[in-house]
Chains A and B, each alone.
Chain A
């Protein structure tokens, strides 16, 4: 169901805003009315902002006793009809993995913000990129979006809500210390220019409703508690009626549908952005804050006659295989740029394998790459 955002919630105008606050305002614009969180640096500004803003729009704010309480309170509230979000940082995300796996398997829409940190404090990193994908138990697909600016923190939080609601799944905003604690220009549009997607509700009364039978996109409609549908929501394998069933056929069919919701809708979910790629023979592939020095390095390279380009991954998971492969088929070399020991590089190498050479430009010391460092890597390849 597509609607327009509610104008009371939206601070339309031009702001100079903190990245974490932009996430909170994005959530409000998307219709979030339940937030639960547990204190952790560098995500606290999101909780603090939500504690102030939720009551103003008849929403609920809960400071939970731990991350597990936060993530399960989201499940409960979401099934009671709320649009829900929590925010945490790397170590806190570990704790939430259990509840994230539950929400995916039980098809509960929720948005999780992970402000990645390292060295036990708020130092810059992108080291959670693999725990995002594979941390939760059980077979699953993930939707993970990586903002690279304050504006994208706002925009992608709205998008995360829309995808979570549309696909009845978990959508993660993979922020970073770098983005979260930065102040930048943020333009919040008018309510009528923000598209909001809300979960599909049943179109038939309780007696006729089959709760886990998919309609469009592999997604079953979701009623809320108290509307009389009396559904069993369980992590255990369940048939279309919600009955717990252990037969291998039931299990396989259920998980094919749950993972298929994502893998059959890649074109809707995946977003990338290309810069200077048309005639490039070297391409950088990066996501999040790292795309900023990457773009500067590419511009500098162009000034110096190196035909470099950048593929920015806005959707980090699922992998933009089609887009990466298109670049790989055109260039001689791809460089995977990351602020960690080289994690997503495994994906880039997998997808590019047989199409072009792949190199890694990694940095794992709590600091973002400088433009010069990336430029030097480009120069090295161009030699």
Chain B
């Protein structure tokens, strides 16, 4: 039997993976290696970072330098790596808990600095690893393990957040749009500066069962599809009409000086 040509990017002995069947985070791993393969990314110079949670497990399967195991501090790690050894490619796999809850401040500060890092935000709309609790990106009114009467809060739009903070490459796609997601990841990997690709994805085990009463991966995926609009479609809708929808698109792609730390100005002063 011939081996899948993308298998070479995965750590030997790492499979089978631990994701539930039908999990969108596992699909994102697939998207990443496809995108990396298309640009011949050097895995010797790749540092793949995960915090804590289901998404954070993605880097464990990659045959790269890996940092893992602390909730929300992925961007500080990246900042240290980047400042000391800017030639490394740093990619963060963050869930909505890591990025929007416990690590929210780090996310916006890194975007503000235009840190040269790629954040692949796997937004499964809940805290999946801990049993499906509400997260800052859970849509309003939906039920989760800790919102048995419906979510009383409005969700965070993380793309808008990082754009406002100064991010220079921002896209949102979903696991219902795999080719667009792969293309966006490829663009992010080639971008110099802070890039974030949000991938809205299905968590059938917890989000599906609690929020939309189905643990079927396809049904959750269809629900995401039904709740998605393009950027163009969104322009015709009011904020109220857009509530509960995911706006998909490539929102920002611009060049700005990347963060190099304080020695830049020291060198300038010396000139």
| Chain A interface residues (CB < 8 Å from chain B) | 33-34, 36, 51, 54-56, 58-62, 64-66, 68-82, 84, 98-99, 102, 106, 224-236, 243-244
Q: Are A68 and B73 in contact (CB under 8 A)?
A: yes
Inter-chain contact B79/A225, CB cutoff 8 Å: no
Assess the A76–B77 pair: CB atoms within 8 A. yes
Closest to B81 in A: A76
Contact A99 B73 (CB under 8 A): yes
Q: Does B251 contact A (CB under 8 A)?
A: no
Q: How many residues of B contact A (CB 8 A)?
A: 40
Indicate if B152 sits at the interface (CB-CB under 8 A): no
CA A61 – CA B265 in complex, angstroms? 12
Contact A55/B66 with A73-B80, A75-B77 known, Cβ cut-off 8 Å: no
Q: Are B77 and A72 in contact (CB under 8 A)?
A: yes
Q: Does B67 lie within 8 Å of A65, measured CB to CB?
A: no
CA distance A70 to B80 in the complex (A): 9
A244 touches B76 (CB 8 A): no
By the criterion CB–CB under 8 Å, are A233 and B80 in contact? no
Q: Which residues of B contact A80 (CB under 8 A)?
A: 47, 80-81, 84-85, 88
Q: Is the Cβ of A55 less than 8 Å from the Cβ of B79? A: no
> Which residue on chain B has the smallest CB distance to residue A61?
B262
B263 proximal to A (CB < 8 A)? yes
Q: Are A82's CB and B84's CB within 8 A?
A: yes
A145 to chain B, nearest CB (A): 24
Say yes or no: B68 contacts A74, CB within 8 Å.
Answer: no
Q: Which residues of B contact A98 (CB under 8 A)?
A: 70, 73
A59-B68 Cα distance, complex, nearest whole Å: 26
Q: Is the interface of B mostly helix, strand, loop or mixed?
A: helix
A60 touches B83 (CB 8 A): yes
In the bound complex, do residue B44 and residue A73 qualify as a contact, i.e. CB atoms below 8 Å apart?
no
Q: Which residue of A lies closest to B87 (CB)?
A: A226
Q: How far is the CA of A60 from the CA of B83 in the complex (A)?
A: 7
Chain A nearest Cβ from B106, distance in angstroms:
6
In the bound complex, residues from chain A placing their C-beta under 8 Å from that of B67 are 75-76, 79, 233-234
- The CA-CA distance from A33 to B80 in the complex, in Å, is 11
Q: Which residues of A contact B44 (CB under 8 A)?
A: 226-228, 230
Report the nearest A residue to B75, measured CB to CB: A69
Identify the closest chain A residue to B62 (Cβ).
A230
Beyond A69-B109, A80-B84, whether A225 also contacts B76 by CB under 8 A is: no
Task: Verify B79–A76 contact, CB threshold 8 A.
Answer: yes
Q: Which residues of B contact A36 (CB under 8 A)?
A: 79-80
- Give A84 to B64 CA distance when docked, in angstroms: 23
Known: A65-B105, A69-B75, A69-B76. 8 other contacts (CB 8 A): A51-B262, A75-B76, A79-B65, A82-B84, A98-B70, A99-B70, A229-B65, A234-B68
Docked-complex contact B76 and A72, CB < 8 angstroms = yes
> What are the nearest 5 A-B pairs in CB distance?
A76-B80, A235-B69, A55-B266, A72-B76, A77-B80
Instruction: For chain B, residues 199 to 220, give those with C-beta under 8 angstroms from any C-beta of chain A.
Output: none
State whether A236 and B263 are in contact (beta carbons under 8 Å apart), knowing that A69-B109, A81-B84, A230-B44 are contacts in the complex: no
CB B117 to nearest CB in A, in angstroms, measures 11
Chain B residues lying within 8 Å of A99, measured Cβ to Cβ, are 70, 73
A72 near B80 (CB under 8 angstroms)? yes
